[in-house]
Amino acid sequence: MSVSFTNKAIAIIAEDRIREAMEQGKFDNLPGTGKPLRDLDDPVDEFWWLRKWFQRERLNEVKRADAKAEARLKYQELNERNS
């Protein structure tokens, strides 16, 4: 079986399931319906996930600086390994 055939089959199955869910009203009244997506127009930030974590966890500034420095080091290490 070729990869493209498998990808097409998966796409067809996914579309069918989405269509069925729409017909059953499973997408009606979802939270945020009709509201703009948050952060859509923000500039690209490679550490977006870290900023969100800080906000969610309400970390203080000292912990933020330490965590950010550690994240940058780990990010650099991963990039060096993959180079």
The pLDDT of residue 78 is above 70: yes
Residues 74 and 56 both lie in one domain = yes
Residues 44 and 80 both lie in one domain = yes
Condensed to tens digits (0 to 9), the pLDDT of residues 21-51 reads 999 999 998 888 888 887 778 788 888 888 7
Long-range contacts of 76-79 (CB under 8 A, 24+ apart): none
Residue-range definition of the domain harbouring residue 25? 1-35
Number of domains within the chain: 2
Q: Write out the H or E segment, with its range, that includes residue 79.
A: helix 61-82
Residues 46 and 82 both lie in one domain = yes
Q: In the prediction, which pLDDT does 39 show?
A: 74
Residues 27 and 6 both lie in one domain = yes
